[in-house]
Structure 1
Amino acid sequence: MSTTQDYEVQEFRPEPPPPWWDRLEQRLRQHAPTALRVSIGLVFVWFGLLKAIGQSPVADLVHATLPFLSQGLLMPVLGGVEVVLGVALVIGRPRRVTLVAVGAHLAGTFLVFVNAPALSWSDGNPLLLTANGEFVLKNVVLICAVLMLLGHRRTVRK
């Protein structure tokens, strides 16, 4: 003979986060996009200056990727463009145009996998990245950061 017992079903409700966590999240939502934009801008300025003054460690990689462009002109021009984009990111103006240009520039770095694959992976295997390949592949994260910034609504202070 089976007996049935009535069980009271209780709905699981997680505890709300402590108030300090809510305040921290609010501050992060408010300031993290600006910090991300400025940090990417500073990296662009830094890398651009290295290219412009002829001290970039990726000069050979860039030349191998874009062999059809004048080597004497490529690095200073590319460096100048990167400095301009970086300054625009730091300043935050013009926001959308700059972010689109930065995203396009970062996407262009993937040309190395097409134009100079021997510098990107070992033994012709795309799963075995070289240091150059890793350097370029990390731009996926930067492109996603740019996309996040493009999709983020700025809050207007009243």
Structure 2
Amino acid sequence: MTNTPGHVGVLDRAETLLARLALPCLRLSLGLVYLWFGVLKVVGRSPVADLVQATLPWVHGDWLLPALGWVEIVLGIALVVGRPRRLAPAAAAAHLVGTFLVFVEAPALAMSDGNVLLLTTTGEFVLKNVVLVCAALAVVGWGRTARH
């Protein structure tokens, strides 16, 4: 198949549109996920309550999950609104890096037989945060790359 001028023009326009939408959509989707997960923690319906307690065994009290939920809600709102532009996604990336503590504090929940290559469902759930960390970092750098 040959590239006709009209065919290339449509692809170029689609690429330009996607380039313009990708990072705002990434920021918005991160914000919505943060809001959703935060609200679940605040209202006491989070499916990861036991995981959070296992990951932070040195923190005691019924206040931990709701406090974490409120932090996530604030981060979610900041991401959705887009302010502070760099700080919100940077804070989200730092928060997400903290989720990897499960591999240190509760490895039996994350790995089968202590083998890092044999992740449990929980381990896979946490490992996918690598993608979310990278997404948050991309949003942090968004303004700088847009200006250059």
Q: TM-score with structure 1 length normalisation?
A: 0.85
**Counterparts of 1:69 and 1:37 in 2: how far apart (Å)?**
30
Structure 1: 4+ residue segments shifted above 2 A: 14-17, 153-156
Note the residue ranges of structure 2 that are not aligned, 5 or more in a row. none
Deviation at 1:150, TM superposition (A): 1.6
- How far apart are the structure 2 equivalents of 1:43 and 1:115? 25
> As a proportion of its length, which structure holds more strand?
2
Aligned residues: 143
- Offset at residue 146 of structure 1 (A): 1.2
1:56 maps to which of 40, 46, 56: 46
Residue 71 of structure 1, CA deviation: 3.5
Q: Which has the larger radius of gyration?
A: 1
| Larger RCO (CA under 8 A, 6+ residues apart) | 2
Give CA-to-partner distance per residue, 1:67-113, whole Å, 9 cap, x none. Answer: 11123011000000000000100000001111110000000000000
Q: CA RMSD in A?
A: 1.7
| 1:74 and 2:64 correspond | yes
Q: Hey, what's the Cα distance between the residues in 2 that align with 1:24 and 1:149?
A: 21
Aligned residues of 1:63 and 1:71 also touching (Cα < 8 A): no
Q: Distance in 2 between matches of 1:71 and 1:110?
A: 22
TM-score normalised by length of structure 2:
0.91
Residue type of the alignment partner of 2:18? L
Whether 1:92 and 2:82 are equivalent positions in the alignment is yes
Q: Which residue of 2 aligns with 1:148?
A: 138
The one-letter code sitting in structure 2 at the alignment partner of 1:21 is: L
Structure 1: tracts of 5 or more residues without a match: 1-13
Bigger share in helix: 2
- Letter matched to residue 130 of structure 2: V
